[in-house]
Amino acid sequence: MTGIWKNYITFAIILGRTSSPAVMKESLKQIVFIVNPKSGTHGKAHILIGIDECVNKDKYGVEIVYTQYPGHATEIAAQKAKENAYAVVAIGGDGTVNEVARALVHTQTALGIIPCGSGNGLARHLQIPMDPWEAIDIINGGNQETVDYGKINDIPFFCTCGVGFDAFVSLKFSQAGKRGPLTYLEKTLRESLNYRPETYELDVDGSTSHYEAFLIACGNAAQYGNNAYIAPQATMDDGLLDVTIVEPFTMLDVPTLAFQLFNKTIDQNSRIKTFRCKDLHIHRTKSGVVHYDGDPIMMGEDIYVTIVKKGIQVLVPKNTPPNPISVLQRAQDYINGLKQINESWVEDITLRHKQILDKGKRQFKLLMKKNGTGL
């Protein structure tokens, strides 16, 4: 047994959260917390403490379960929905949220989120606080809304899906050793230098169009995560997909596009085409990667995206005002990220140059030795 599992089990025993449903009071509404120990960049012991201290024990019965492999969260959530649990709460990133949510569609069990992933796109759209204890307060409050979800070739998604560059970066990000927004930004900037747009055929309501596109994003929610708004006008209760097509652009366009992505105005850029629809058929010339809620998967030439209206219940804040984060703050966060990336690139280039010089010196010494010249 690994150290991380020992720590989590120890916390669960100490805080009394390993109770089985059979010993819980029948009068209590049952909330099941599903923990993905591998998601995000921080530990989750403080979240367990928050659950113990914040959840109203007079109203809710609490059970906590840990995932052990990909897809396990879906299995757990499906079983708890069959047992008529009041809510199943995903403790993890967008991938964990997707796994839990797909098992709860068209059930009476609500989805709760304690965000602790790299992007937290759905939580941010729903204005669920990033602070775990505040997110627990939202769950404790019990305010439910019924929202839409999408499907891409019958795979459910709840935030965004897409083809092209964003899917390609999702694949690279999934293969990276490090997690977090800085890693994602680094992958985005690096890969954008070499990525080539593709030509897509789009069929919407019987009308066919062709686009050369850098990416095509379909939004049920407004953002990828980290407040990067690829579909800034998207809402989760209108029964429509918000489709964003990013046409080919030059490196001179990148600063403006990046700024608009973070200040919710990317749909105003001349390189961007947007529309709304219920169903979308995307045809491409070859198979390749797509993404759903940031997770990459290989699919064929034909991709079908649709929206399912009012398909899942979620626990959300009550009467939440608009997001108070200012445009200038988002811009500053982006600039700070670029600065860190630039510094890492300088270090990387310096190291690569040193490695090349050292290799050259070694090869030169070997050549001299073979020729009997010596140094």
Per-residue pLDDT reduced to its tens digit, 47-87: 999 998 999 999 999 999 999 999 999 999 999 999 999 99
Are both 32 and 77 inside the same structural domain? yes
Percent of the chain with pLDDT over 70: 71
Are both 238 and 352 inside the same structural domain? no
Region 30-47: mean pLDDT is 81
What pLDDT sits at residue 367? 61
CATH number at residue 192: 2.60.200.40
Are both 303 and 163 inside the same structural domain? yes
Which is higher by pLDDT, 87 or 348? 87
151 domain residue, yes or no: no
- Among the residues of 87-214, which ranges form H helices? 94-104, 121-125, 132-141, 165-174, 181-192
Are both 43 and 90 inside the same structural domain? yes
Region 248-269: mean pLDDT is 88
Q: Which of 223, 264, 261, 235 is nearest to 123 (CA)?
A: 223
Number of domains composing the chain: 3
321 domain residue, yes or no: no
Are both 39 and 165 inside the same structural domain? no
- Of 308, 341, 359, the last residue of a domain is 308
* Beta pairing, strands 60-66 & 29-35: parallel
Are both 138 and 165 inside the same structural domain? no
> Is residue 90 within 8 Å of residue 175, measured between CB atoms?
no
Are both 211 and 254 inside the same structural domain? yes
Mean per-residue pLDDT of the chain: 81
**What pTM did the predictor assign?**
0.76
Which is higher by pLDDT, 242 or 194? 242
What pLDDT sits at residue 189? 52
Place of tokens 């029964």: 239
What pLDDT sits at residue 252? 85
349 domain residue, yes or no: yes
pLDDT at 195 over 90: no
315 domain residue, yes or no: no
The residue segments making up the domain with residue 65 are 3-142
Give the tens place of pLDDT for each residue, 279-311.
Answer: 999 999 999 999 999 899 999 999 999 999 999
CATH number at residue 134: 3.40.50.10330
Region 233-262: mean pLDDT is 91
Are both 244 and 102 inside the same structural domain? no
> Is residue 41 within 8 Å of residue 179, measured between CB atoms?
yes
Looking at residue 50, what DSSP letter applies?
A: H
